[in-house]
Structure 1
Amino acid sequence: MMRIYIVEDDPKIRDILKDFLGKYDYQLKTVDDFDQIYQEFSEFEPHLVLLDINLPRFDGFYWCRKIRTASNCPIIFISARDNGMDQVMAIENGADDYITKPFQLEVVLAKIKSLMRRVYGEYRSDKASTIIDVDGLSLDPATFLLSFQQQDCLLTKKECLLAQAFLTQVEQIVSREFLLERLWDDQDFVDDNTLSVNITRLRKKLLDLGIENPIKTIRGAGYKLEKTWEN
């Protein structure tokens, strides 16, 4: 079931969206704490975010940039701000679409379905060429989706980079230095603890897919992905 995270501070609009979209087989979560939007996003791991601009403390542009440091999941802004510059800023900060209030619920649904199909479904033109598959365990680096036996889980950006490194070097020792270099970017400081935390999270997601302990720690050398699963 596809998951949608609704970040909207108007309780009336929030409830209308949740009630309407709940009829269409989506798992929905509305924001609980406007200071913890990124943490809630990371824990819920949605396939799509509906995001307002005018929010308490930090605006939607800030949270869009924050989410983009970890995920490529579709983001649709829904806002009463209808001038062209706000729409330009939304796109430049990483959004995929922009809907102005007041809106028609059917239009919101159509845009959600369109983005879901394009990113996760049959409309993706690059689907076959990007997927890494090792005996039924597959990773789509474009969408951060890890799949096994018709089950999917959504990875963070760092988890996806680790999974990609392991799946392209199955049964080979991958050094900590190599993995640290993979995780490094201009926005986040990456140290040994960051690597260890993300390895633990990736192990947990593999376990959620039914694959027990495939990532082995090789003392003094790094890690190795052992093919402990069967297609």
Structure 2
Amino acid sequence: MYKIMIIEDDKKLQELIRSHLEKYGYETCTVKDFSDIKKEFINNNPNLILMDINLPYFDGFYWCREIRTVSKVPIIFISARDSDMDQVMAIENGGDDYITKPFSYDLLIVKIKGVIRRVYGEYSENNHMEIFEVDGLYMHINKNIVEYNGKKVELSSKEFLLLYSLLKNVNNIVSREQLLEILWNDIDFVDDNTLSVNMTRLRKRLEDIGIVDAIETKRGQGYRMISNWDKR
């Protein structure tokens, strides 16, 4: 079952679209916080987005660009704007298709089916880029890149594994033994010094993107990453 994210602030229209899509067997999700649609997208991980242009805080073009920094998920714009320029901007900002309000639901379903067939069909690549996020810190799993407040830094494979382990257990202590086991492989010898060196490098990489003193050393136990660095 494909999941479709409806980004529409008109509650009545949002509900009409949702009920129609579910009648055709699609799973749906909607936006609750229009101030951080990118985060909502990552948390919901939909297969397709229906995006209005006129939205609170920032318009749909802005959020399309933001989503394109982390994913190639197909985006269909739905808007009352019917000028050629708006449709051009929709495509240039990363949209896959455009449908003008008011629209027939039959046409909407046909467009959705067409995009899904093109993107997720038998000969298509899976365009999703796996993302893990905690408190605005984004980990691009397939690229060893972390992003915070628009700043990005590339980590070594060991640094990335350490950060992922700490974030998966945020606010809890991860023992040195657990981290050593995570870093161990058949090629590299890993000891306490290797762990300490990589943890020091990881702290420096995080400082480069504005996250300072987020990793605590718990003497005799291990390490802990404290959340809410975005509030500091």
Q: TM-score, normalised by structure 2?
A: 0.63
Deviations 1:16-58 (A, max 9, x none): 1000001122110111111121111000000000000000110
Q: 1:7·1:50 contact (CA, 8 Å) conserved in 2? A: yes
The answer to whether the aligner puts 1:155 opposite 2:130 as a matched pair is: yes
Please state whether the residue corresponding to 1:50 is helix, strand or coil: strand
RMSD: 3.2
CA distance in 2, matches of 1:36, 1:81: 23
The answer to whether the aligner puts 1:190 opposite 2:156 as a matched pair is: no
Give the match for residue 67 of structure 1. Answer: 67
Q: 2:79·2:100 contact (CA, 8 Å) conserved in 1? A: yes
Question: Over alpha carbons, which structure has the higher Rg?
Answer: 2
CA distance in 2, matches of 1:196, 1:14: 40
CA shift for structure 1 position 216: 3.6
CA shift for structure 1 position 191: 5.5
Distance change >3 Å, CA 118–CA 188, structure 1 → 2: farther
The answer to whether the aligner puts 1:18 opposite 2:18 as a matched pair is: yes
**Aligned pairs, number:** 167
Q: Which amino acid aligns with 1:29?
A: C
Distance change >3 Å, CA 115–CA 160, structure 1 → 2: farther
Q: 1:79·1:101 contact (CA, 8 Å) conserved in 2? A: yes
Q: TM-score, normalised by structure 1?
A: 0.63
CA shift for structure 1 position 160: 5.4
CA distance in 2, matches of 1:196, 1:33: 31
Equivalent in 165, 170, 183 of residue 217 of structure 1: 183
Distance change >3 Å, CA 41–CA 81, structure 1 → 2: same
CA shift for structure 1 position 11: 1.1
The answer to whether the aligner puts 1:143 opposite 2:143 as a matched pair is: no
Q: Which amino acid aligns with 1:91?
A: I
- The share of aligned pairs that are identical, in percent, is 45
CA shift for structure 1 position 81: 0.5
